[in-house]
Amino acid sequence: MMLNEILNTDFGVCEYRLIENNLINCRKKAEIPENAKSVIVFAFPYKVKNEKPANMSRYAAVADYHPVVENKLKEYVRLLNKYYPDNKFVPFVDNSPVPEVYAAAAAGLGVVGKNGLLITEKYGSFVFIGEIVTDLYIPAENKIKECINCGACLKACPVGLNKEKCLSAVTQKKRELTQKEQRLIKENGSVWGCDICAEACPMNKNKELTNITEFINTYRSSYSPDESPENRPYLWRGKAVIDRNNELM
Ligand code: B12
Ligand code: SF4
Ligand code: SF4
């Protein structure tokens, strides 16, 4: 049976050797199977509505994607184990040694944007990435393509696309914020995450909305400190951090 018949969903494949020298140092590195040969990569769209949420980024407006994606990957692993009982399949999402944007682009799921995000044809960059690393060899093409390089993201970004200063990271900081950081959060009006470069991107225009029910059913158009932070992507930092940002508004 072919892999696409087994999985019955869209995916791409990246050869492991392409990323093995660029692995991210994280706790989960040790979980990569011995003799890893391929990475099966998936993109999970999460844009629920065309209009932007009032005071947070789009990824913060839906349920925490980690368990949602993890559950889907586990189901794929179960199917793969059935057809390939002698191989190993290990799922990862975000907290992953795999440089996910590059693996997904190499797997043909989209192009790498100047803003560092994977941009897919169907959903633009509003997709989460998840992957399964395996010792099964799956032939793959592996050509990384880049975006149209129009520069709109650079023009719109308040920190010149500098990842060290990225506003998304600033909203997640536990320590006391500098005056400049506080001003940045206030000016951009997001209590969690940042979508400025993504919203400016022409390759995100007129794309499809998500069909993933776990995201559609949990959508909130704004953050309110009165609502439960349970199962939301900001909970891992503790409620105090997002409430601090909210008070700046
Ligand atoms: C850390 C991180 C962040 C940090 C970045 C901090 C930093 N200093 O880098 C912060 C908090 C800022 C952040 C913000 C966001 N993030 Co983030 N983040 C990650 C995470 C966990 C790791 C990224 C990383 O460190 N990569 C390694 C570094 C070193 O990569 P790099 O700087 O690009 O350098 C590499 C390239 O130069 C590369 N390279 C160049 N050419 C080639 C060629 C090949 C073949 C290879 C292999 C590599 C390669 O080599 C270097 C090393 O790999 C990934 C998940 C993952 N495991 O990949 C999610 C991830 C990238 N984030 C994601 C999201 C959604 C976001 C936000 C949109 C959230 C939001 N709305 O606020 C923003 C967007 C900011 C932006 N414009 O990128 C998604 C992106 C989905 C997509 N469509 O691309 C990911 C993939 C998580 C997921 N599973 O869905 N993020
Ligand atoms: S997420 Fe915001 S701060 Fe970070 S690179 Fe994009 S526009 Fe700049
Ligand atoms: S705004 Fe332009 S340069 Fe930036 S990621 Fe989109 S297409 Fe690429």
Which atom belonging to ligand 3 lies closest to the Cα atom of 148?
Answer: 7
Residue nearest to atom 8 of ligand 2 (CA): 157
Which atom belonging to ligand 1 lies closest to the Cα atom of 94?
Answer: 89
Q: Is the CB of 57 under 6 A from ligand 1?
A: yes
Which atom belonging to ligand 2 lies closest to the Cα atom of 195?
Answer: 1
* Annotated catalytic residue 94: yes
Q: Is the CB of 59 under 6 A from ligand 1?
A: yes
In order along its 249 residues, the chain shows pLDDT tens digits of 899 999 999 999 999 999 999 999 999 999 999 999 999 999 999 999 999 999 999 999 999 999 999 999 999 999 999 999 999 999 999 999 999 999 999 999 999 999 999 999 999 999 999 999 999 999 998 999 999 999 999 999 999 999 999 999 999 999 999 999 999 999 999 999 999 999 999 999 999 999 999 999 999 999 999 998 899 999 999 999 999 999 999
Q: Please tell me the pTM assigned to this model.
A: 0.97
* Alpha carbons 46 and 64: distance in angstroms, whole number: 11
Long-range contacts of 23-29 (CB under 8 A, 24+ apart): 23/97, 23/98, 23/99, 24/96, 24/97, 24/98, 24/99, 25/97, 26/95, 26/96, 26/97, 27/95, 28/92, 28/95, 28/96, 28/97, 29/97
Provide the H-helix boundaries in the chain.
Answer: 3-7, 16-19, 65-83, 100-106, 152-156, 167-171, 179-188, 196-200, 213-216, 239-247
If you search the block for the tokens 């992507």, which residue do you land on? 233
Task: List all residues whose CB is within 6 A of at least one atom of ligand 3.
Answer: 113-115, 147-153, 200-203
* Alpha carbons 7 and 22: distance in angstroms, whole number: 27
